[in-house]
């Protein structure tokens, strides 16, 4: 089922200067973000997707680590907000390890859940979990969200938790997702708020850059407030019925807690671009800075989320 062929690509290193200013909560993050690849300009869409696919294949085994509890917690809350009916059919786009799909499958006892993702590694985890739970109403398929191969209007609900912002053209992506849903059906999208991953992310970026490597802009910032979500929904002809702010996060009491986030999520792709020696040195320097920040008291690690629900 996951046998799609992808071309091997060479990643070209280029430089893009980006600036982020005035994030909510008074934190000012201003840094020179130079793209690790031509993600922003020179890389083709296929290359970008291949980079993403490989990155998630790399972290698939550790993705359900407790340090990333905010992913399944967002999924649980999204499914609750959707008020599912047992006979409905749901499409989960960018399903990853299936956190939304499986939370929904528990409720859709007479319906069916279809999860799609680029990464066969992530899909395998989803399928394993579904099997362990004994669900017979799920299917997981390797597919690009830009090329959804389903009949139009064949689902009651479509979801995409922390997925849409991976697309260069989010509007086209959301339109494609909306096309899969019947008139009157629902579409749910989640993203992180602007301050998410603070205060660790600022240290990570400065340290990474101090090693002479370049960083891509933070993709979720393109969907990090209600207005940005609303404008995407309206461009896709979806009526926003609610936007939920979920103030998730936890106190980090040691630097390993942050490293667990880095190692088990998308940040790992950036680490993997460093040589082995650089990886060791980066970890040493960065962990020292994080330990100093955490101190004796611990530090609140912000993973605030927005969940938008729209109607077709």
**Residues at the interface with ligand SAM (CB under 6 A):** 49, 52-53, 56, 71, 75, 94-96, 99-100, 117-119, 122, 144-146, 161-163, 166
CB of 169 to ligand SAM, least distance (A): 11
For ligand SAM, the closer of residues 294 and 302 by Cβ is 302
In angstroms, give the least distance from the CB of 122 to ligand SAM.
Answer: 4
Nearer to ligand SAM, 121 or 185 (CB): 121
List, in order, residues 6 or more apart from 78 with CB less than 8 Å away.
100, 103, 159, 161, 188, 190, 307
Judged by beta carbon, residue 49 or residue 193, the one nearer ligand SAM is 49
DSSP H helix total and E strand total for the chain: 10, 9
E strand map for 43-149: 89-93, 112-117, 138-142
Name which of 35 and 95 has its Cβ closer to ligand SAM. 95
- Shortest distance (Å) from residue 95 CB to ligand SAM: 6
Least distance to ligand SAM from the beta carbon of 40, Å?
A: 16
Q: Which residues contact 5 (CB under 8 A, 6 or more apart)?
A: none
> Looking at beta carbons, which residue is closest to ligand SAM?
96
Show the CA angle centred on residue 176, arms to residues 45 and 309, nearest 5°. Answer: 115
Contacts 24+ apart (CB under 8 A), 267-275: 267/204, 268/55, 268/58, 268/59, 269/51, 269/54, 269/55, 269/58, 270/36, 270/208, 270/213, 270/215, 272/55, 272/58, 273/11, 273/36, 273/213, 274/211, 274/213
Which residue number, 103 or 287, has a Cβ lying nearer to ligand SAM?
Answer: 103
- 198: closest CA among 28, 17, 11, 15? 28
Residue among 125, 119, 150 nearest 57 (CA): 119
Q: Please state at what angle helix 276-294 crosses helix 255-264, rounded to 10 degrees.
A: 140
**190 bridge partner residues:** 161, 307
Q: Which is nearer to ligand SAM, 191 or 294 (CB)?
A: 191
CB 307 within 8 A of CB 244: yes
Q: Minimal distance in Å, beta carbon 192 to ligand SAM?
A: 10
CB of 26 to ligand SAM, least distance (A): 27
**Residue number with CB closer to ligand SAM (148 or 228):** 148
**Least gap, CB of 182 to ligand SAM (angstroms):** 22
**Residue among 270 and 294 whose Cβ is closer to ligand SAM:** 270
Q: How far is the CB of 197 from ligand SAM (least distance, A)?
A: 12
DSSP 43: S
Task: Using CA atoms of 46, 51, 53, 56 in order, give the dihedral in degrees to the nearest 10.
Answer: -160
| CB nearer to ligand SAM: pick between 202 and 269 | 269
Quote the least distance from Cβ 30 to ligand SAM, whole Å: 25
């Amino acid at each position: 089922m996951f046998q799609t062929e992808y071309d091997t690509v060479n990643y070209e290193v280029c430089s893009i200067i980006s600036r982020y200013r005035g994030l909510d909560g008074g934190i000012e993050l201003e840094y020179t973000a130079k793209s690790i690849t031509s993600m922003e300009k020179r890389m083709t869409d296929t290359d970008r997707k291949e980079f993403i696919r490989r990155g998630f294949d790399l972290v698939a085994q550790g993705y359900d680590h407790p340090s990333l509890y905010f992913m399944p917690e967002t999924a649980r809350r999204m499914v609750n907000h959707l008020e599912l009916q047992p006979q409905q059919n749901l499409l989960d786009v960018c399903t990853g390890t299936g956190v939304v799909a499986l939370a929904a499958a528990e409720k859709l006892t007479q319906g069916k859940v279809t999860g799609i993702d680029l990464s066969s590694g992530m899909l395998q985890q989803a399928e394993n979990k579904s099997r362990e739970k004994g669900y017979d109403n799920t299917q997981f398929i390797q597919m690009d969200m830009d090329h959804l191969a389903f009949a139009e209007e064949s689902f009651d609900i479509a979801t995409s938790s922390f997925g849409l912002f991976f697309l260069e053209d989010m509007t086209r992506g959301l339109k494609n997702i909306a096309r899969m849903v019947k008139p009157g059906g629902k579409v749910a999208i989640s993203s992180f708020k602007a301050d998410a991953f603070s205060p660790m992310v600022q240290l990570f970026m400065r340290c990474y850059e101090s090693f002479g490597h370049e960083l891509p802009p933070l993709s979720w910032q393109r969907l990090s407030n209600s207005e940005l979500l609303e404008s995407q929904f309206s461009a896709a002809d979806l009526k926003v019925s609610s936007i939920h702010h979920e103030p998730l996060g936890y106190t980090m009491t040691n630097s390993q807690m942050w490293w667990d986030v880095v190692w088990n999520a998308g940040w790992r792709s950036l680490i993997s671009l460093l040589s082995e020696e650089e990886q060791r040195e980066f970890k040493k320097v960065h962990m020292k800075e994080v330990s100093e920040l955490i101190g004796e008291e611990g530090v609140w690690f912000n993973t605030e989320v927005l969940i938008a629900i729209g109607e077709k």
